[in-house]
Structure formats: structure tokens, C-alpha cells
Amino acid sequence: DTAVSQTPKYLVTQMGNDKSIKCEQNLGHDTMYWYKQDSKKFLKIMFSYNNKELIINETVPNRFSPKSPDKAHLNLHINSLELGDSAVYFCASSQEGKVGAFFGQGTRLTVV
């Protein structure tokens, strides 16, 4: 009964490939997020979605695109992967007006 789950947990891929990371939450929250944690453990918000509407885009490259088929899912698509995209990506969710997000376990992306 994991609250926020991400798949895959680990992803190793070559430069130039296109990949997706899936995220699902069963908490009934209406806002979901994607965060990137770099090698120095710095955590930065990338996107958030509220009721299928993108409300934050923290100037990430347009190779990254969030896609939300429904309120419980927010998938992250990455095109033309670059070495610098290697990081741990965290999905999170929260209820509108309550920013105390529940986080997924993270996806470690390694681009070779």
C-alpha cells in the first residue's frame, strides 16, 4: 500500500535515448511533483501538476515533459538524454493548499 510509487527504481541508458519514469499515488492528492536530486544531493523542483494543469515549470529543458493521464499519475518523459541528466528523480504528491509532500523512493537515472 505504498503511498507514492515510482518505476523503475534504477534506469541506465545511453545518450540520445528517450526514456520515461512513471509515478503513481494512491493518497487521493490533487497535486503531484517531480524533483531532481543531483550528485551533490541538491534537491530542485522541476514540475508540479494540479488537476491536470501544469502550474510550475522551474525552467527545466524542454526535453523534459511531464504527462498526467489522470489525477493519480504524473509521468516524466525525457527526450535525447544527456550525461548531465544523470541524477535521482523524485516524484511527490500533496493535497492542494498543504505543501507537505509525500515522496516516492526515487529513480536513479544514469546516462552513459
Query: Taking CB under 8 A as the rule, does residue 70 contact other proteins?
Result: no
Question: From the CB of 111, what's the least distance to other proteins, in Å?
Answer: 21
Closer residue to other proteins, CB minimum distance, 4 or 74? 4
DSSP string, 65-108: EEE-SSTTB-EEEE-S--GGG-EEEEEEEEETTEEEEEE---EE
Cα-based angle 85, 67, 108 (whole degrees, multiple of 5): 30
Sites for other proteins among residues 19-58 (CB under 8 A): 31, 33, 40-45, 48, 50, 55-56
Question: From the CB of 48, what's the least distance to other proteins, in Å?
Answer: 6
Query: Taking CB under 8 A as the rule, does residue 15 contact other proteins?
Result: no
Closer residue to other proteins, CB minimum distance, 36 or 81? 36
In contact, 97 and 78? CB cutoff 8 Å: no
The string over 47-79, giving b where at least 16 C-beta atoms fall within 10 Å of a residue's C-beta and e elsewhere, is bbbbeeeeeeeeebeeebbbebeebbebbbebe
Closer residue to other proteins, CB minimum distance, 42 or 84? 42
Which parts of this chain interact with other proteins (CB under 8 A)? 4, 31, 33, 40-45, 48, 50, 55-56, 90, 92, 94, 96, 99-106
